[in-house]
Amino acid sequence: MVLKTQYSMAFTFTTIADYREQLLNGDTTCVQAVEHYLAVIEANKHLNAYVLVCADAALQQAKSLDKRGVAGNGDTLFGVVVAIKDVLCYKGQPVTAGSAMLEGYKAIYNATSVQKLLDAGAIIIGITNCDEFAMGSTNENSVYGPVLNAHDNTRVPGGSSGGSAVAVQAGLCMVSLGSDTGGSVRQPADFCGIVGLKPTYGRISRYGLIAYASSFDQVGIFARNIPDAALVLESIAGYDPMDSTSSPIPLRNFAPLEKNKQYNYRFAYLAPTMELPGLDPEIKSSINTYFDKLREQGHTVEAVPFDLLDYIVPAYYVLTTAEASSNLSRFDGVRYGHHAAGNTDDLTEYYKQNRSEGFGLEVKRRIMLGSFVLSAGYYDAYFDKAQQVRRLIFNQTAAIFENYDAIIMPVSPTTAFVLGEKMDDPVAMYLADIYTVFANLAGLPGLSVPLFRHSNGMNFGVQVLTDRWQELDLHKICHYLHSNR
């Protein structure tokens, strides 16, 4: 791991529960925690994980919390130092989605997920870098430049929530929020060797989350361990009248997750996912060996047929780009954001200038693709067909969960790749999403569990998917797998 360490080691963090004990025992304070993270962030600026560090606000909040005291306080995230992705509104702070299109814009309200963090006593220490408008798998499509993987600075951290992933990976915060439209939490978590959670679509309010593809987007969580991810989910999940897609289905109460308790789980894996020619041989071998280990422990691990795998990536990119072309039409440079310097009396030409200068290459590519599939003559051939594929995927997945507790599959065909390696081949970049977009198409909860280390030194693991609204089962299963790796 390439990390600079010129800062005090007086403060250490392992879990949120342990940190709370330190606060209760007087072994540390919220101010000491914030000062520690500010020092670590400063020492590791080269990673480019943050686009804004909210030092003054974080210290002020820490002082206020220390004055109140943790004893008897019911705040579930009291003093927990959190980073948020640059797509979530934090009142009074810039929110740019990693794009020049939103330069100078400051949020005028808190996203519901951010407000719930604050209500639970969390301290927001900064805003993290991301691919522009969450479109990318490497965090190289940002106006602020690429984020570097802390394990190997020559490699990508994954995307689009790469900054949030590295912030947890490198110890620049305790937990962080990202967003997951097609794997943008689970894939960077896999590349960085940490835990990444995408809840069921509708479990966490999207109010205040800058939209990429509205029927796919979901706020997600990065953590170092499963219990911390579960605690954050408990704190920010729930119905929100400001988001019509949020669900009133209650989140079952998370009892303390039991370590090393034996269960007899029924695991399925989609047969074609382990036979793809692009799957790294070492990843394939490690996961197959792990399946054997689970069987030896008394679990069922069976291959199930799935004939829609070849349609997953095309359907995903047809639908998400179509939604993106609609969502991003609101950014015109007239009311806020980037204004072109050129003078013109033609409003349409003014829009063109603003968008041509404000949007990056990948965002333009997806807007144009989305506009094409929605255009007259192509809507039925592409958009409607993709929606039909999505329904078939949903139905086939529901049938699998009638007989199995969870689905296990790789997170990515490869480990973190070298910076710039795939930037000239967008099709190869899109195909690398084949394992993660499945959960978003079906609206499933998924959790990336770090389990292995490749011979190239990089981490990787598996993702576990459960049926919709079964986050409690998902966390129990993943905690068991993580504890017995």
Which tokens is 350 given? 């003014």
Contact status, residue 158 vs residue 137, Cβ threshold 8 Å:
yes
Number of other residues whose CB lies within 10 A of the CB of residue 94: 15
Integer Cα distance of 124 and 127 in angstroms: 8
Q: Which has the closest alpha carbon to 46: 91, 5, 88, 92?
A: 5
Catalytic residue among 161, 184, 205, 412: 184
- For residue 263, what are the contacts with CB-CB under 8 A and spacing of at least 6? 299, 476, 477, 480
Helix (H) or strand (E) segment spanning residue 452: strand 446-453
Contact status, residue 130 vs residue 87, Cβ threshold 8 Å:
yes
Q: At what angle do helices 309-327 and 385-400 cross, to 10 degrees?
A: 130
Told to judge if 326 belongs to the known catalytic residues of this protein, a careful annotator would answer: no
Contact status, residue 400 vs residue 304, Cβ threshold 8 Å:
yes
Cβ-defined contacts of 56-62 (< 8 Å, 24+): 57/124, 58/34, 58/123, 58/124, 58/125, 58/126, 59/31, 59/34, 59/35, 61/30, 61/123, 61/124, 62/29, 62/30, 62/31, 62/33, 62/34, 62/123
Phi/psi of residue 100, nearest 5 degrees? -70, -20
Contact status, residue 51 vs residue 90, Cβ threshold 8 Å:
no
Integer Cα distance of 353 and 338 in angstroms: 10
Told to judge if 85 belongs to the known catalytic residues of this protein, a careful annotator would answer: yes
* End-to-end alpha carbon distance in the chain: 21
Catalytic residue among 160, 161, 164, 246: 160
Told to judge if 184 belongs to the known catalytic residues of this protein, a careful annotator would answer: yes
Catalytic residue among 85, 116, 422, 476: 85
- For residue 343, what are the contacts with CB-CB under 8 A and spacing of at least 6? none
Q: Active-site positions?
A: 85, 160, 184
